[in-house]
Amino acid sequence: MSREVKESLQKDNYRLKSYSYADYLAWSEDNPVELIEGIPCAMTAPTRIHQEIVVEILRQIANYLVDKPCKVYVAPFDVRLADAKAKADTITNVVQPDIAIICDKEKLDDKGCLGSPDLIAEVVSPSSAAKDYIKKLNLYEKYDLREYWIIHPMDKIVMVYQLEQTGKFSRSTIYPFEETIPVGIFDNLTISLERLSQELAAEQYTP
């Protein structure tokens, strides 16, 4: 957590204060955080395996999206979950997904994405598990994310949630790395992690 956030919390006698995107913009980039319902959540440096998974998925998605209208981005990339007309001092949710696909170009600006992407993928680490499985799952559902992937390197599985017409996520569909994983927001894209899984099997994963 950044020095600015710690000092602010100390001034408030450790009472939880709700921060906004306006506060977020004033903090140092040396200690990155995400804002979830106004609460700063520290981000940790990714591991090598984490980055290998992100790069492999990104490569396959980016190749598919050539000459297509959707765009794919990787962290650090600010996603402000709010209405399109929301002002900085009213936005209390700012996340940096490992991978985000946005198909509505109206949501994109120089600061990142304002509004919900179409798909977000997060690679779990021990320090981020509760955030990815609980806080972000609830947050992404609240803002009508169409599809959410939680990728677990140690178990070598991908949990896929899709938004139903009720506005709630479906039960997760679990895919081992060895299986081909369909990308639900597209008709004809699948992701294969089999080669990467074989490489990981040859070494000891350290979270």
Q: What pLDDT was estimated at residue 23?
A: 96
What is residue 95's DSSP assignment?
Answer: E
Cα separation of 177 and 153, whole Å? 9
What is residue 83's DSSP assignment?
Answer: -
The 10s digit of each residue's pLDDT in 14-57 is 346 899 999 999 998 878 899 999 999 988 888 899 999 999 99
Cα→Cα distances 37→34, 90, 143, Å: 10, 11, 12
- Residue 132 half-sphere exposure, CB side, CA atoms within 13 Å? 23
Cβ atoms of 88 and 26 within 8 Å: the answer is no
Q: What pLDDT was estimated at residue 204?
A: 56
Instruction: Match 């894209």 to its residue by tokens.
Output: 189
Query: Closest Cα partner for 160 from 177, 171, 71?
Result: 171
Q: What pLDDT was estimated at residue 95?
A: 97
The 10s digit of each residue's pLDDT in 135-168 is 999 999 999 999 999 999 989 999 999 999 999 9
pLDDT band at residue 198 under the 50/70/90 scheme: confident
Radius of gyration of the chain (CA): 17
pLDDT band at residue 197 under the 50/70/90 scheme: confident
Q: What is the mean pLDDT of the chain?
A: 89
Domain boundaries, the chain: 3-201
Q: What pLDDT was estimated at residue 59?
A: 97
- Residue 188 half-sphere exposure, CB side, CA atoms within 13 Å? 4
The CATH code that applies to domain 3-201 is 3.90.1570.10
> What sign results for the dihedral spanned by CA atoms 51, 193, 159, 83?
positive
pLDDT band at residue 11 under the 50/70/90 scheme: very low
Q: What pLDDT was estimated at residue 13?
A: 38
